[in-house]
């Protein structure tokens, strides 16, 4: 790593004709029988979507939206229904169903002209506000709400239950109207919070709600299994590499002792040195596999923010498919010691870089130039690492979304390390990810 913290990637070597990446090999993209489209294009995606409709996964958000609409329409006559409708609104917010929430909001707004008592009903207005918030509030609030302390869920359940019971007693003349209105508002907020949590749990149990897309869960499962298979093959790869290294050393000794011309000796030693350099590069890659996400047996003084980010850059640089994309390390926290959560930061940085490098590949596979800036800053209680993508003109590079399954897994790694991992998808700013870890020196 140079002193200026700038990593430049060399241009990739063009594949040889007839290799697996040439398009006709066993590892390449297979052409379709008609020569117009790949065989893995339309048919598997259609089959995947048909399975989703068949088992009802696609109906969950629509059913929740219909429930929110029906409960909202009757909330003017049955205020308790508005509390349940607020829970449905919280579920729509977590599932990111903006269009459905907007349609329900429009329908409830039109209900003011059909239901005479709606404009005087606190439950109706509260349900309408909850559904509108589900459609138009920023999605970054989801992460904040669902990372609340565990005791807040118990408190929300108690508040929702007590408010619901109070609303059922609204017909009692001994209860004043302001108290009933407060019960409706408090119960709706608590129910929306609980609905968001239940929807999040459902999405985690049935991962298709989060990860079902153009490729589905197949790539995530393949990567997970590939990682486990690779962990078992590292020993088998290290053994022949050690044999090659020792044989190359013996060859160097023999060449130095041979009675040959100096020109021939120089050529042989150059080839021996080339074998040695490639062997060392392969050994370094094996070490990346072996110690990925682990602190290893290094000295604790070497486990700092810089080393974690450097290992992440080294592990992901092969994913840069073209020349012109560089990675820059910056900030005043690069030398901060991180012995406890060094592996967690490395995993978070790898996930962020894999997505960041995809920002420089356009929809039409056009290649863009630019740089990825990893800036590590110190706050009073945290080490904050931001990932910024900038094109060659200095403007923010287009965002590439990280799949939900990987995002959730990395979030759990961050939570286990006492930090958080946030994905930023705003097109007007270059920041793509924010990683935060608690300082252990305070």
Tens of pLDDT, residues 292-314 = 767 655 555 678 888 888 888 88
Is pLDDT of 40 > 60? no
| pLDDT higher than 50, residue 212 | no
pTM, entire model: 0.55
- The pLDDT assigned to 215 comes to 58
How far apart CA 65 and CA 70 sit, in angstroms, is 9
For the chain, the first-to-last Cα distance in angstroms comes to: 30
Average pLDDT, the chain: 76
pLDDT score, position 70 = 92
Choose the most confident range, by mean pLDDT, from 11-25, 158-172, 195-209, 269-283.
269-283
- Evaluate if residue 54 carries a pLDDT over 80: no
Spell out the residues 6+ positions from residue 271 whose beta carbon is closer than 8 angstroms to its own. Answer: none
Where is average pLDDT lowest: 48-57, 84-93, 114-123, 418-427? Answer: 48-57
How many C-beta atoms lie closer than 10 Å to residue 175's C-beta? 14
Residue found by looking up tokens 């498919």 in the block: 321
As a whole number of Å, the CA-based R_g of the chain is: 29
Other beta carbons within 10 Å of 187: 29
> What share of the chain has pLDDT > 70, as a percent?
74
Instruction: Report which DSSP code applies to 206.
Output: S
Three-state SS at 296? coil
Average pLDDT, stretch 431-438?
85
Residue 173: pLDDT over 60: no
Q: Please tell me the distance from the alpha carbon of residue 133 to that of residue 112, in angstroms, as a whole number.
A: 18
pLDDT category, 106, cuts 50, 70, 90?
very high
Say how many residues make up the chain: 442
pLDDT, residue 16, reads 45
The tokens of 185 are what? 């508002």
- The pLDDT assigned to 213 comes to 46
Higher pLDDT residue, 16 or 77?
Answer: 77
């Amino acid at each position: 790593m140079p002193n200026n913290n700038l990593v430049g990637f060399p241009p990739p070597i063009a594949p040889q004709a007839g290799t697996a990446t040439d398009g006709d090999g066993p590892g390449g993209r297979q052409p379709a029988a008609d020569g117009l489209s790949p065989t893995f294009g339309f048919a598997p995606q259609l089959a995947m979507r048909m399975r989703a409709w068949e088992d009802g996964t696609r109906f969950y958000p629509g059913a929740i939206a219909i429930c929110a609409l029906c409960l909202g329409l009757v909330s003017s006559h049955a205020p308790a229904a508005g509390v349940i409708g607020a829970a449905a609104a919280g579920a729509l917010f977590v599932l990111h169903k903006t269009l459905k929430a907007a349609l329900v909001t429009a329908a409830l707004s039109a209900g003011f002209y059909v239901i005479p008592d709606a404009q005087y009903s606190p439950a109706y207005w509260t349900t309408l506000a909850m559904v509108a918030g589900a459609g138009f509030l920023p999605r970054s609030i989801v992460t904040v709400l669902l990372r609340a302390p565990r005791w807040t869920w118990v408190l929300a359940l108690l508040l929702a239950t007590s408010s619901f019971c109070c609303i059922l007693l609204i017909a009692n003349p001994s209860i004043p109207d302001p108290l009933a209105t407060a019960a409706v508002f408090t119960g709706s907020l608590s129910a929306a919070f609980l609905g968001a949590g239940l929807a999040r749990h459902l999405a985690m149990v049935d991962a298709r709600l989060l990860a079902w897309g153009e490729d589905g869960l197949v790539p995530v499962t393949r990567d997970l299994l590939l990682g486990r298979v690779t962990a078992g093959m590292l020993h088998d790869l290290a053994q022949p590499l050690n044999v090659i290294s020792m044989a190359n050393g013996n060859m160097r000794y023999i060449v130095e002792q041979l009675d040959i011309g100096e020109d021939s000796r120089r050529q042989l030693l150059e080839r021996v040195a080339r074998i040695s350099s490639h062997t060392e590069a392969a050994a370094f890659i094996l070490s990346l596999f072996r110690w990925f996400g682990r602190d290893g047996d290094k000295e604790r003084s070497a486990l700092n923010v810089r080393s974690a980010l450097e290992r992440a850059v080294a592990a992901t640089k092969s994913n840069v498919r073209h020349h012109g994309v560089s990675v820059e390390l910056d900030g005043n926290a690069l030398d901060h010691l991180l012995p406890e959560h060094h592996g967690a930061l490395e995993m978070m940085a790898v996930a962020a870089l894999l997505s960041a490098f995809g920002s420089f590949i356009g929809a039409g596979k056009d290649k863009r130039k630019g740089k990825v800036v990893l800036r590590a800053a110190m706050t009073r209680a945290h080490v904050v690492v931001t990932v910024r993508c900038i094109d060659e003109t200095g403007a923010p590079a287009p965002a590439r979304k990280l799949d939900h399954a990987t995002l959730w897994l990395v979030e759990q790694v961050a939570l286990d390390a006492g930090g958080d991992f946030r994905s930023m998808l705003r097109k007007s700013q270059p920041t793509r990810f924010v990683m935060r870890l608690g300082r252990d020196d305070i």
